[in-house]
Chains A and B, each alone.
Chain A
Amino acid sequence: MANFTPVASLLGGLLIGLAAALLLLANGRIAGISGIVGNLPTARTNDIGWRLAFLAGLLAAPLLYAAVSGAPAVRFDASTPVIVAGGLLVGFGTRLGGGCTSGHGVCGMARLSPRSLAATGLFMAAGFATVFVTRHLVGS
């Protein structure tokens, strides 16, 4: 566990929790990224603004942070075909499954939704299995 960063993880998690709590209590909305993005094209006119505002904040805050204290590490070595396949699976899968790490993993778990508990267990299990295959079966 040489790479474990407990303090940064808890602090970042608290910020994400505050973000989800604010969006719920102020706007009555679930802070699920795949839903906020995925429902943009079909959203009613008065339902589009807050989505764009949220996404603007989501993109701008990391940029401001990077401008102040340097760009954070973004390390990934997946090949181009794997990046494309991964992106397609994440996009289609989160829409079919009705959520991702934020909508199911944080907001759904927070209200003990059986669907979110099941989804989180399944995508975690699939993630564990995929990394086991790519790193320890195929990669070695």
Chain B
Amino acid sequence: MLRLVTALASGALFGLGLVVSHMVDPAKVLGFLDLAGDWDPSLALVMLGALVVTAPAYAFARRLRAPLCADGFASPTATRVDHRLAIGALMFGIGWGLVGYCPGPALASIGFGSDRTLLFVVAMLVGMAIFAVLNRDRAPSVLHHGTVRQP
């Protein structure tokens, strides 16, 4: 039960951060991606602000046997930079640049965005579903164990 509360709180903090930083506004994101235009570095500061907290948290997690409310840490098992990673990241970047939405902000703005926000989210979920159908035979890429893996 406690881990549902912490997950809810984490999601709420995440959503609040996206609103406070204006990242729910695709025009703001496109302003960052438009290097040749009136460049807006805001998104870089959002990432920096997040990393200032997250990097020490990950360093601290390596010293823990287990998280506070669960049996173990779930860590990605893949370590190689392969063509799937590269092609996927490039596809994501193109879609991100076309609209200005990545998954978090799109979901966070469903409640007050327009029907166009909803259309984007539906298309995104369909894209995820197509991937899931094409890859249903692949093994899961996350391992559950006691400590966070060294990168």
Contacts and interface: CB of A to CB of B under 8 A. Distances in A.
Q: Does A pair with B?
A: yes
Interface of A: 1-6, 8-31, 33-34, 37-39, 41-42, 49-51, 53-63, 65-66, 71-76, 78, 80, 82-98, 100-102, 104-115, 118-120, 122-132, 134-136
Contact of A61 (B12, B30, B53, B85): B12
Interface of B: 2-28, 30-31, 33-43, 45-55, 57-58, 60-61, 64, 66-76, 78-81, 84-104, 106-114, 116-117, 119-132, 135-136, 140-141, 148, 151
B19 A12 contact: yes
A31 to B, nearest CB: 6
Contacts of A85: 95, 98, 123
Interface SS majority for chain A? helix
Per DSSP, chain B at the interface is helix
B88 A93 contact: yes
B20 A11 contact: yes
Contacts of B11: 19, 53-59, 61
Given A2-B38, A92-B127, A19 B79 contact: no
B98 A37 contact: no
Nearest to B146: A28
Contacts of B38: 1-3
For the complex of A and B, list the 5 residue pairs with the smallest distance between their C-beta atoms, beginning with the closest.
A13-B49, A91-B127, A12-B21, A97-B88, A126-B93
Given A34-B128, A100-B103, A122-B93, A10 B119 contact: no
A120 B148 CA distance: 21
Contacts of B4: 49-50, 53
Contact of A98 (B39, B78, B107): B78
Contacts of B35: 128, 131-132
A46 to B, nearest CB: 10
